[in-house]
Structure 1
Amino acid sequence: MTEHHLHDYIAGAVGGTAGLVVGHPFDTTKVQLQIQHHGKQYSGTLDAIKHIHKFGWVQGFFRGLSWPVLSYGVVNSVFFGVYGNTLKFLEKDRTKRKSSYLNLYLAGCVGGTAQILIAIPVDYIKVVLQSQIPHDLGASNSMKLYKGPIECVAAVVKERGIVGMYKGGVAMAVREIPSYGIYCLTYEVLNVKMHEKRLTDSKGIIASLLAGGVAGSVTWFSILPVDVIKSRYQADCNGEYKGFLDCAYKCYQEGGIRIFYRGCLVTCARAFLVNAVTFLAYSQTLKYLETKRVHKNGTLNPNEM
C-alpha cells in the first residue's frame, strides 16, 4: 500500500478521535435515556443531564471514555481508509465522483462493513460502563459495577468467552452497514452543493462542518429505533432479554413506538456536533497530507486524489 493510500486511514483516525471526545457526554446521556425502565424514569433530557452531572465529569459524562478513545481511532481509521480507497477503486476519475451517488453509498457500506468487527466489542463495553450510572443515588445497586474497561472486558470474557464481547452484534450490523452508506452519501452531496453555490469559505471549513453535522443527524435519526434496542440489549446484564428480537418486542410492549425514539433530541444534537468535528478534522487532515505530498513529489495527478 502506497503512502497516498494510507492518507485516508490517518485522516480517519484523527477525525474519529476528535469527534469522539467532543460527543461522549451526549452519548452517555443518550444511553441513560435509552436503557431506563418503569420505576426508574427520567422526566426528560434535562433531568438525565442533571442526574449524570451529580457524578461529575469523569464518573458521569465521560464514564467509559478511555475504552473508545483507545479504540475508535482504529475504528474510524479503518472506516475512512476503506471508504476512501473503495471510492478510488470504483471511480478512477475524481471529477466524476460528485455525481456518482450509487458509488458513494456503496463505498460507505463497504467501509461500515470493514470496521464492524472492531466496533462491536468497543461499543458493547462502552454501553455497559455508561449504563452503570445508578438512577437512584440512595438505592443499593445489586448489579456489579466495573471500575473501568479492563475489569469489564475481563469479566465478560471469563463468563462468556470472546464471543461474549460481540453481544448485540446483529443489531450493530443492521445499524452500521446501511447507515454508513446514507452517512457518506449525505455528506458528499451537501458538501459538493455548498461548494458549487459558494456557501463556504476558501478552505471548505464551513461546508465540512455543516455537511458533516447534517449527515450525522439525518443518519442517526434514521437508525434510532435499532440503536435503542441495541443499547438496551447490550446493557442487560441480568438476562432479561433472550435476543435482539425479544428485546424489540418487550420494548414495544413497555412503551409502544415512542420508546424507540427515546433520547432523540440529545442523539441528533450529539450527532451534529460529533460528525461536524469528525468530518472537519478528517477533510482538513486529508488536504494537509495531500498538499504535503504535492510539495514533496511535484504536481499531483487529479486521478490519484
Structure 2
Amino acid sequence: MNDGISPGNKTISPVVDFTAGVIAGAAGLVVGQPFDVIKVRYQTPEFNGRYSSVWRTFAGAIVREEKVHGLFKGVWSPMAGIAFINGVVFSSYSLFMRFQHPSTENDSEPSLSQICLAGAGSGVVAASLTCPIELIKVRQQSAPPHLDPSIVSILRSIVRTEGVRGLYRGFSATALRDIAYGPYFCTYEAVCRYFRNQRKPPASLPANHHGHGLIQEAEAELGTLRWPELMTAGGLAGLAAWLTTFPFDVFKTRMQGSSWEGRSSVKALSLRRTAVNAVRTEGWRVCFAGLGPTLIRAVPVNMVLFLTFEACVAAL
C-alpha cells in the first residue's frame, strides 16, 4: 500500500493505516455483534416463529435464556480474521482500481462505476477468507441456548464430517453477498462528492489525494468534510450495501447452518436449491429475514468505525 495522505498532506505510515483499520474494525464488530446474532436467529429455520420483534429477541429471549454472553456468540471467529480480511480488501481494491484507473501525476477522480467495480471485486476476493469465518460464526450463533460450541470443536466437527472442503460451504452465496462492497464504496463516495459540491465554493481535495488505497481516500475526505457529513455518507453506504445483496446473506446462513439434533451436519445444498426451497416453503419474505436488525446495526457500526479509525490515526 502507498502511504496514506492525511489532512495537511502529512504522510502516514502504512503500518499506522493498517493498525487503525484493524482496531476500528474490531470496535465496529463488538458494537454490531448483538444485532448480528439476532439476524442469524431470524434467518435460521429452527428459530422460525420464536422471536416476534428485535427488542423482544434482544432483551427477552436471548438475554433471559443465554445471558449477555449469548449476544456475543460467534464474535471470536470474525475477530481473529479481521486483520487478514482488512488486508485482503485494501490490497485487492487497490489492485482492481489500478487495472481500471492507472495512476498519473495529475490524475482525475475515478468514476463511481470504477469504484463500484473495484469494491465488488475486492468483496469476491475477500470471500475466500470470510466464508470459513462466517461458517464457524453461523454455527455458533445458531446453536440452541443450552449449547455454546467453541471454534475448535466446530472446526473439528466440520473437517471430520465434510473434510477441508466443508469449510467453504456457502462460498457462492458469500461471494455474491460480498459484492456489496461495490455499492458500499460507490454510495460512500457519491454522498461525499455531493456534500463537497454543495460548498460555496465547492471544497477541493488535495492535489495528490487520488491514491488507489481505501484508507488514503478516507484520510483525504477527512480534510474536506465535517464529521456529520462523513457519518451520513457511511450510514447511507451501509444501508445501500445490505439492501443490494441481503437475500444472499439469508441463503448463506441456510447453506452454512447445521442440524443440532445429534450435532450432525445437514446435507449440503446448492445456492439455487437452497433459495428455491426457502421461498417455496416460507414465501418471498424469507429473502429479507433479519433485515430489520441488520439495518439498525449498520448506522452505529459505521459511526464507530469512522470515529475509532480517526482516533487511532491521531493517537498513533
Same fold (TM over 0.5): yes
In structure 1, what is the equivalent of residue 214 of structure 2? none
In structure 1, what is the equivalent of residue 129 of structure 2? 118
Distance 1:260-1:82 versus aligned 2 partners, 3 A rule:
same
In structure 2, what is the equivalent of residue 214 of structure 1? 236
Which range moves more in the overlay, 245-254 or 3-12? 3-12
Structure having the higher helix fraction is: 1
- Cα distance, 1:202 vs structure 2: 6.5
In structure 2, what is the equivalent of residue 303 of structure 1? none
- What pairs up with 1:82-97 in 2 under 5 angstroms? 82-84=92-94, 86-87=96-97, 90-92=101-103
> Could you tell me whether the CA contact under 8 Å between 2:41 and 2:47 is conserved in 1?
no
- Cα distance, 1:92 vs structure 2: 2.2
> Could you tell me whether the CA contact under 8 Å between 1:30 and 1:263 is conserved in 2?
yes
Distance 1:94-1:31 versus aligned 2 partners, 3 A rule:
farther
Q: Deviations over 1:121-143 (max 9, x none)?
A: 11110111001144xx7xxxxxx
Which range moves more in the overlay, 89-98 or 47-56? 89-98
Percent identity of paired positions between Structure 1 and Structure 2:
29
Distance 1:282-1:111 versus aligned 2 partners, 3 A rule:
farther
In structure 2, what is the equivalent of residue 165 of structure 1? 167
- Cα distance, 1:96 vs structure 2: 5.6
Q: How many residues align?
A: 278
Distance 1:274-1:94 versus aligned 2 partners, 3 A rule:
farther
Q: Which of 36, 45, 57 is matched with 1:36 structurally? A: 45
- Is structure 2 residue 98 aligned with structure 1 residue 71? no
1:150 alignment partner AA: V
In structure 2, what is the equivalent of residue 140 of structure 1? none
Q: Deviations over 1:72-107 (max 9, x none)?
A: 232123213432464466252598664511221122
- Cα distance, 1:213 vs structure 2: 1.3
In structure 2, what is the equivalent of residue 274 of structure 1? 301
Which range moves more in the overlay, 200-209 or 46-55? 200-209
Q: Deviations over 1:172-201 (max 9, x none)?
A: 11111x311111101111122223335999
Q: Which of 129, 136, 141 is matched with 2:140 structurally? A: 129
- Cα distance, 1:24 vs structure 2: 0.5
Which range moves more in the overlay, 105-114 or 2-11? 2-11
Q: Any stretches of 5+ residues in structure 2 without a counterpart?
A: 5-12, 204-221, 260-264
Q: Determine the C-alpha separation between the residues in 2 that align with 1:39 and 1:223.
A: 22
In structure 2, what is the equivalent of residue 61 of structure 1? 71
Q: Determine the C-alpha separation between the residues in 2 that align with 1:225 and 1:187.
A: 22
> Could you tell me whether the CA contact under 8 Å between 2:180 and 2:245 is conserved in 1?
yes
Distance 1:218-1:241 versus aligned 2 partners, 3 A rule:
same
Q: Determine the C-alpha separation between the residues in 1 that align with 2:20 and 2:108.
A: 19
> Could you tell me whether the CA contact under 8 Å between 2:124 and 2:176 is conserved in 1?
no
In structure 2, what is the equivalent of residue 296 of structure 1? none
- Cα distance, 1:211 vs structure 2: 0.9
Q: Determine the C-alpha separation between the residues in 1 that align with 2:44 and 2:184.
A: 25
> Could you tell me whether the CA contact under 8 Å between 2:33 and 2:75 is conserved in 1?
yes
TM-score, normalization: structure 1? 0.79
- What pairs up with 1:1-305 in 2 under 5 angstroms? 6=14, 9-37=18-46, 40-49=49-58, 50-54=60-64, 55-58=66-69, 60-84=70-94, 86-87=96-97, 90-92=101-103, 98=109, 100-134=111-145, 145-176=147-178, 178-198=179-199, 204-237=226-259, 238-239=265-266, 242-282=269-309, 288=314
